[in-house]
Amino acid sequence: MSKYYPLKLIYTFLLGLIFLSSCKGQSKTPLQSEKSSELKAILPAQTKLIKTQGSSQYDVVFCGIQDKQGNFWFGTTGDGVYKFDGKLFTQFTLKDGLSSNCVMCILEDKAGTIWFGTSNGICRIEDNKIIPIPISFAIRPVITDNSYYNETSNKNTVWSMMQDKSGKIWIGTGECVYYYDGKNFTRFLANDNVINKDSVTLKMVADILEDKNGTIWFASGMPPGYEGLSSFDGKTLKNFRPNKEGWFRNVEESKNGNLILASRHYGVWTYDASLSEGYGPGKSFSGYSQPKDLLNGSLNDILEDRAGNLWVASDYGEELGDTLGGLWYSHVSESNPTEKTFIKIFNKEVSFIFEDKANSIWFGTRNMGLYCYDRKIITKFSE
């Protein structure tokens, strides 16, 4: 491990995609497992996260979690998955059973099973094997325009996963949203009982959240989704685009019940859940008082830690230079933020953040960078 030192990188923003599809077809399909591979990495464990698959400087450590056993799992856009036991990193790739080396999200379900959302569908660890879990073509929507798909972002790309209080796993893909009830996959919008007056398509959903009241929230990502924020209360699907913003990277529920959102164009937004009955963007959405660097940048991730502090991960886009991206911290209450309370602790583009059981903040960067901030120093865990 080595300590962080500033390094200027050329950043190319994540490619926006546009595609059109309609969600039609049957609503359920049985879960079936295909090929499997023993969960035993070919390469020996390393003390650092080391690239082995020829990934470029623009590939990132894109997501991460700490499981119930205390192990860390990190997904990358070019080098598969890394498991870190606190001492050594073990890498898993296509050769180990992953359906793709591009991993966009990781979920540990209530039973302790680890799921991977990749650019080629879903995998999970089962009986010490990585098992690809296919969604039957019988329930998938008909795609009439394939012109916007590429290797990383396609119809099969799984951008987000969330398990709700009932145990269902919600899955946001490049084509629509599904959920899995333990036996069957269901295409969410194929359910005729869902009231969808706003004609939401739920394509490219970057994040899914269930709030304390049981409402499901969908944060729409890049085009052609670009639908802002949507909510489902069990009956009705509603859509919000405050300031016509259609691009939210993720959504968090604050301890006070409000939602905190990372937007593409307007920095940090909040949604006052107490006014949710009106669903009026002008009444319930508001922006943070925040540095212009956050407002001008592109937010990738947002986190409220256990103490109630706000963390914001940002990048900058190649046209804005390399001084706007980074990791920001605000110790002020969400109810009364001011620009001066934001402190920048890392001056390079950051792709994701999460808090571990020891209250340390982990984050990933371009060029496959992985770092940990223990509230005192930043330590680099990658080559």
What is the rounded CA–CA span in Å between residue 349 and residue 299? 10
The pLDDT of residue 333 is 55
Indicate the average pLDDT of the chain.
83
CA distance 81 to 65: 11
> H or E stretch including 190?
none
* Cα separation, 239 vs 230, whole angstroms: 4
Q: Taking the CB of residue 257, how many other CB atoms lie within 10 A of it?
A: 13
| pLDDT average, residue stretch 186-195 | 94
Share of the chain above pLDDT 90, in %: 56
Tokens of 89: 């990193």
CB-side neighbour CA atoms (13 Å) of 133: 23
Residues comprising the chain, all counted: 383
Q: Classify residue 2 by its DSSP letter.
A: E
Q: What angle do CA 284, 286, 292 make, to 5 degrees?
A: 170
DSSP 98-113: -S-S-EEEEEE-TTS-
Mean pLDDT of 62-68: 98
User: Are 78 and 53 contacting, i.e. CB atoms less than 8 angstroms apart?
Assistant: yes
pLDDT band at 331; cut points 50, 70, 90: confident
Least confident stretch, 4-8, 135-139, 365-369: 4-8
- Across 76-98, average pLDDT: 96
Look at residues 60, 38, 58 and name the one whose alpha carbon lies nearest to residue 49.
Answer: 60
Q: Which two tokens stand for residue 349?
A: 């583009």
Question: Each residue of 239-280: pLDDT tens digit?
Answer: 999 889 999 999 999 888 889 999 888 889 888 866 544 333
Phi, psi of 340 (to 5 degrees): -70, -15
Distance CA 364, CA 367 (A): 9
- What is the dihedral sign for C-alpha 91, 77, 200, 271? positive
Q: What is the DSSP string of 336-347?
A: S--GGGEEEEE-
3-state secondary structure of 125: strand
C-alpha 179/C-alpha 5 separation (Å) is 43
Q: What is the mean pLDDT of residues 222-232?
A: 88
Cis peptide before 291 (omega within 30 of 0): no
User: Residue 3: pLDDT above 80?
Assistant: no
pLDDT band at 224 (very low <50, low <70, confident <90, very high): confident
Are 193 and 200 in contact by the 8 Å Cβ rule? The answer is: no
pLDDT over threshold 70, residue 343: yes
For the ranges 154-168, 176-190, 306-320, which has the lowest average pLDDT? 306-320
pLDDT at 32: 45
Sign of the four-CA dihedral 172, 173, 177, 182 = negative
Contact 115, 104 (CB under 8 A): no
CA–CA gap between residue 289 and residue 215 (Å, rounded): 27
Q: What is the pLDDT of residue 296?
A: 73
Distances (CA, A) of 38 to 129, 142, 283, 373: 4, 34, 53, 34
Residue carrying structure tokens 């194929």: 190
H-helix or E-strand spanning residue 283: helix 281-284
pLDDT value of residue 229: 95
- In angstroms, how far apart are the furthest CA atoms of the chain? 56
